[in-house]
Amino acid sequence: MDVAQALGRLMQDSSQVERAVVLDADGSVLGSTLDNAAAGELLAEAARELLAAAGELRPSGDEVTRAEVELSEGALFVLREGGRAIAATTGPKPTAGLVAYDLRTCLHGLGEPEKPKRKRTTRKAKEEAPDR
Amino acid sequence: MRRLFRLVVLAALAVWAWRLLIGRREPQERAGVSYADGSSLVLEPGSPGFERLAAVARPALRQ
């Protein structure tokens, strides 16, 4: 599944995510739900800064896998896994666990081959099919 | 019986008023960070760490 498809599915599945952007390991933008590239870059910049600031909170230098900030005006989530990262904004009082699950599912979906849709076959159709 | 009913109503009103006036004052803002080693931390408003992360998040939320 490519980035655009994964983000499309995220927006379809999550009722809480308003905007999202996927970042590569080097911090470059791989894809965004925003039409405006500059707005996508702003969100990506916030995600990079948030990961850096969250990393500075721990002197041990362990990699940040998830950072979230919930404010009265909304929330910003950043998840990092397998080198890639995804950042998303929601409205106020999000269900943090659910948003994180949706974002992680989106990240996992990247690079995975899209599952082919199963064709529904009825018993009658099977019976009518010629024997091999 | 009537007294008991009044007591129940008064208790319910007290709980409702408490939740309305006091419960809403609880901070609705927070920040959380998880690390690769499985540890995590929660930052409450007023802490330097929270203010740092909130300062980063605010411009992105106001877009």
Q: What is the pLDDT of residues B2-30, one digit of tens each?
A: 899 999 999 999 999 988 887 666 668 99
Q: How confident is the model at residue A61 (pLDDT cuts 50, 70, 90)?
A: confident
**pLDDT band at B36, cuts 50/70/90?**
very high
More confident residue, A122 or A97: A97
Residue B63's pLDDT is what?
77
List strand residue ranges (DSSP E) for chain A, in order: 17-23, 29-32, 64-71, 74-81, 84-90
Any B CB within 8 A of A8 CB: no
- Counted residue by residue, chain B has a size of 63
Q: Are A72 and B28 within 8 A, CB to CB?
A: yes
Interface of B with A in 20-39 (CB under 8 A): 28-37, 39
- Residue A93 above 60 pLDDT? yes
Q: Report ipTM for this prediction.
A: 0.78
pLDDT digits (tens, 9 = 90+) for A67-89: 999 999 999 999 999 889 999 99
Q: Residue B55: how many CB atoms within 10 A of its CB?
A: 12
- Terminal CA-CA length for chain B: 59
A92: its two tokens = 């106020």
pLDDT digits (tens, 9 = 90+) for A4-26: 999 999 999 999 999 999 999 99
Residue A128 is predicted with a pLDDT of: 62
pLDDT attached to residue A74: 95
pLDDT of residue A18: 96
Position B26 scores a pLDDT of 61
Using a CB-CB distance cutoff of 8 angstroms, which residues of chain A are in contact with residue B53?
50, 53-54, 67, 69
pLDDT of residue A131: 53
Residues on chain B touching A56 (C-beta within 8 angstroms): 52
Contact B35 A46 (CB under 8 A): no
| Interface with chain A: mutation pick from B34, B37, B40, B50, highest number of A CBs within 10 Å | B34
